[in-house]
Chains A and B, each alone.
Chain A
Amino acid sequence: AQSVTQPDIHITVSEGASLELRCNYSYGATPYLFWYVQSPGQGLQLLLKYFSGDTLVQGIKGFEAEFKRSQSSFNLRKPSVHWSDAAEYFCAVGVPGPYKYIFGTGTRLKVLA
């Protein structure tokens, strides 16, 4: 069965530090891959997506993600975290047959001043 795993429920980093949020998926082929961010009381906002091609994907707000087929991973990174990045981050895959979205359980990011 298809699944998405975000192994870190909570992550705390200091402002200015680098960030990496992990995402692993289980699917027989390469799915469509997404990272979304959810701020308190808000809906989800797309940070970036991977459909095919270059495995390093640039997104909004300085985020990037790298697709590694051999590891079935799509980790999100940011070189320098800002206090406003504190939020919950969701990895998602889109799979066909019939098409659906599967979300990971989310990683809540806390940023220390």
Chain B
Amino acid sequence: KAGVTQTPRYLIKTRGQQVTLSCSPISGHRSVSWYQQTPGQGLQFLFEYFSETQRNKGNFPGRFSGRQFSNSRSEMNVSTLELGDSALYLCASSPQGVTDTQYFGPGTRLTVL
């Protein structure tokens, strides 16, 4: 099976802009989770989608949002970008949810200038 893919791999944006990141899970996986990884805060859970519904959410402001499509592909959107949003955004998929083994994609490196 193909692994989790994320596009784009690298992004450079300026403050105030918005950005959309995409994640394609492993075929058959219905759960997609998003994480933010920064040197200061480590890996932090953003949200999880399962069968097109947000099932769980971390402690991030409303500027961070996501959605999942019927084919389980997921997008994450960040509006009104701030410098502190610069991070590696990781997507993970699993068959049923976060207590399953999660398979991570390579991430999208977002730089906000």
Tell me, rounded to whole Å, the shortest Cβ–Cβ distance linking A45 to chain B.
Answer: 7
Q: Mark A32-57, 1 if CB is under 8 A from B, else 0.
A: 10101000011111100101000000
Give A residues with C-beta under 8 Å from B: 32, 34, 36, 41-46, 49, 51, 90, 92, 94, 96, 98-106
**Beta-carbon contact of A100 and B45 below 8 Å:** yes
**Beta-carbon contact of B102 and A43 below 8 Å:** no
**Beta-carbon contact of A90 and B58 below 8 Å:** no
Give B residues with C-beta under 8 Å from A: 4, 33, 35, 42-45, 48, 55-56, 58, 90, 92, 97-99, 101-107
Q: B92: which A residues are within 8 A, CB to CB?
A: 44
Q: A94: which B residues are within 8 A, CB to CB?
A: 98-99
The 14 listed contacts between A and B (C-beta, < 8 Å) are A34-B101, A42-B106, A44-B102, A45-B104, A46-B101, A46-B103, A51-B99, A99-B48, A99-B98, A103-B35, A103-B42, A103-B45, A104-B42, A106-B42
Q: A105: which B residues are within 8 A, CB to CB?
A: 42
Q: Give bound CA distance, A34 to B101, whole Å.
A: 8
